[in-house]
Structure 1
Amino acid sequence: MGADYSSFTTLQVTEGNGRVTAVLNRPEVRNAIDAAMVEELHLLCADLEENPRTLILAGSNGVFASGADIAQLRERRRDDALRGINSTVFARIAKLPMPVIAALDGYALGGGAELAFAADFRIGTPRVKIGNPETSLGILAAAGASWRLKELVGEPLAKEILLAGRVLNAEEALAAHLVTELAEPEDLLAAAHALADRIARQDPLAVRLTKTVFAAPADAHPAIDNLAQGILFESQAKFDRMSAFLERKKK
């Protein structure tokens, strides 16, 4: 049985068309990620692991997420850090079976940026600001940015963001391919749904296995590619889709 989204207090969740949209909704603190939101994200992941669908993550009131909740973060100690409170749920989001789309507006900073980095796709608005100012607070970006960001934008720019506090504006994020598309704020969710529509036109099993193969470590290839392809070569969708392709070519 899926999560009871009606009981959620920090996420507004809607379902339909083979996808789930989760809007971060703590506008009084610019959607800062607190323990309650982490717990609701875990429940959301559990549902999507059980019933795979594309996930769209967005913010409310012109902000994606301003970061982790500093009031809570200030009180955390060594054992809290070792528990990996945010990093654990972000890793779970990154490993969801179907793609995750982050729709970014306004601030996506600190933990908010790291949540976005865990997504497979990032779409932004012209007013997006994305970066990791953790070192200015005496901590490091320990929920994924310290290693994901290098993979996403390259080492020189990642070091500017992580070590020198650089915050990218929308055009800089687009040039660095950190976001792949810009849309006006009023069109942001529509752009995310248009991308989800394109994903929905693909074979779901092929998408799931491609995401798994893409994330596999280098030494797993080509064995994992061949195993995944072996599964797909036996799927009915492969025969149906290829037959339809060949029929279209005849016309």
Structure 2
Amino acid sequence: MADEFVAEGFATLLVARRADRLHVRLNRPDVRNAIDQAMVDELHLICDELEREPRILIISGSNGVFASGADIAQLRERRAADALQGINSGLFSRIARLPLPVIAALDGWALGGGAELAYAADFRIASSTVRLGNPETALGIIPAAGALWRLAELVGEPVAKEIILAGRILNAAEALAVHLVTEVHEPGALLAAAHALADRIGAQDPLATRLAKQVFHAQAGAHPRVDNEAQAILFESEAKFARMTTFLERKKKR
């Protein structure tokens, strides 16, 4: 089933809705989906909705590009006070904290802020044309919206330093080899693969998925207390009894 995208009053996004998921397409094709203040503001509105009504989020680009980075024209004019506001880092942290999983479907360029948006997702799948990296230091700044700590967690310190300090851009095969992405598809199959992944996530119990994501990202010192507290909630849920009863009945029939 192909997604039907509508603007919904957004200037930089297109949105397609299904019962269990939201598909957001970054839509500034004239500047390769560079992330500007308007896109930040509109993605915050998407977060508002998904915090109220949790669903899976798929984020993709348009015209063969995920996001070429932050909008350099705006970035050039920002000063110290803007940096201290954490404009992009605040948004990406909010996306990372969304209740249900986030899938970034990466096509073509995913650089700078576009790469940092992808690092905030729970899953990154890519097309064979993807190019991932953080060239910020070449522009006299640092990747301050998550790359300096998320990337090392994802790929390890040596590869992260190559990308951030030496300007290495990963192609699809390289990104797959270091597990920065988990799947690579031809461009025409990328969105179908994103929806297939969302189908697998959607087949799980939503409350269990939400709590698993929450506990997964809990601080190390909080374990195993937070694990046990989450399990205590699930042990009393109707879905747990229904799903386990179905499992046991199916097993009897074999």
TM norm structure 1: 0.98
Query: Is the counterpart of residue 241 in structure 1 residue 243 in structure 2?
Result: yes
Listed as ranges, the gaps of 5+ residues in structure 1 are: none
Aligned to 2:110, what secondary structure does the other structure show? strand
Query: Is the counterpart of residue 123 in structure 1 residue 125 in structure 2?
Result: yes
Corresponding residue for residue 69 of structure 1: 71
Corresponding residue for residue 38 of structure 1: 40
Q: Distance in 2 between matches of 1:5 and 1:222?
A: 44
Q: Distance in 1 between matches of 2:158 and 2:189?
A: 32
Instruction: Find 2:201's aligned residue among 196, 199, 202.
Output: 199
Query: Is the counterpart of residue 85 in structure 1 residue 87 in structure 2?
Result: yes
Corresponding residue for residue 111 of structure 2: 109
Corresponding residue for residue 24 of structure 2: 22
Kindly provide the CA deviation profile for residues 168-198 of structure 1, in whole angstroms up to 9, marking residues without a partner as x.
Answer: 0000000000000011111111000000000
Q: Distance in 2 between matches of 1:228 and 1:145?
A: 30
Aligned to 1:55, what secondary structure does the other structure show? strand
Kindly provide the CA deviation profile for residues 196-236 of structure 1, in whole angstroms up to 9, marking residues without a partner as x.
Answer: 00001000000000000000010000000000000000000
Q: Distance in 2 between matches of 1:203 and 1:240?
A: 11
Aligned to 2:100, what secondary structure does the other structure show? coil
Q: How many residue pairs were aligned?
A: 248
Question: Residue 205 and residue 30 in structure 1: after superposition, are their counterparts in 2 closer, same or farther (change >3 A)?
Answer: same
What is the identity, as a one-letter code, of the residue corresponding to 2:9?
A: S
Corresponding residue for residue 11 of structure 2: 9
Q: Distance in 1 between matches of 2:81 and 2:26?
A: 27
Q: Distance in 2 between matches of 1:244 and 1:72?
A: 55
Deviation at 1:5, TM superposition (A): 5.6
Greater CA deviation, 14-23 or 32-41?
14-23
Aligned to 2:8, what secondary structure does the other structure show? helix
Deviation at 1:144, TM superposition (A): 0.3
Q: Distance in 2 between matches of 1:123 and 1:149?
A: 16
Identity of matched residues, %: 71
Query: Following superposition, which runs of at least 4 residues in structure 1 exceed 2 angstroms of deviation?
Result: none
What is the identity, as a one-letter code, of the residue corresponding to 1:127?
A: T
Q: Distance in 2 between matches of 1:6 and 1:125?
A: 27
Aligned to 2:70, what secondary structure does the other structure show? coil
Deviation at 1:6, TM superposition (A): 1.1
Deviation at 1:154, TM superposition (A): 0.3
TM norm structure 2: 0.97
Q: Distance in 2 between matches of 1:130 and 1:46?
A: 28
Instruction: Find 2:215's aligned residue among 210, 213, 216.
Output: 213
Aligned to 1:167, what secondary structure does the other structure show? coil
Corresponding residue for residue 155 of structure 1: 157
Deviation at 1:120, TM superposition (A): 0.2
Cα RMSD (Å): 0.8
Q: Distance in 2 between matches of 1:172 and 1:224?
A: 36
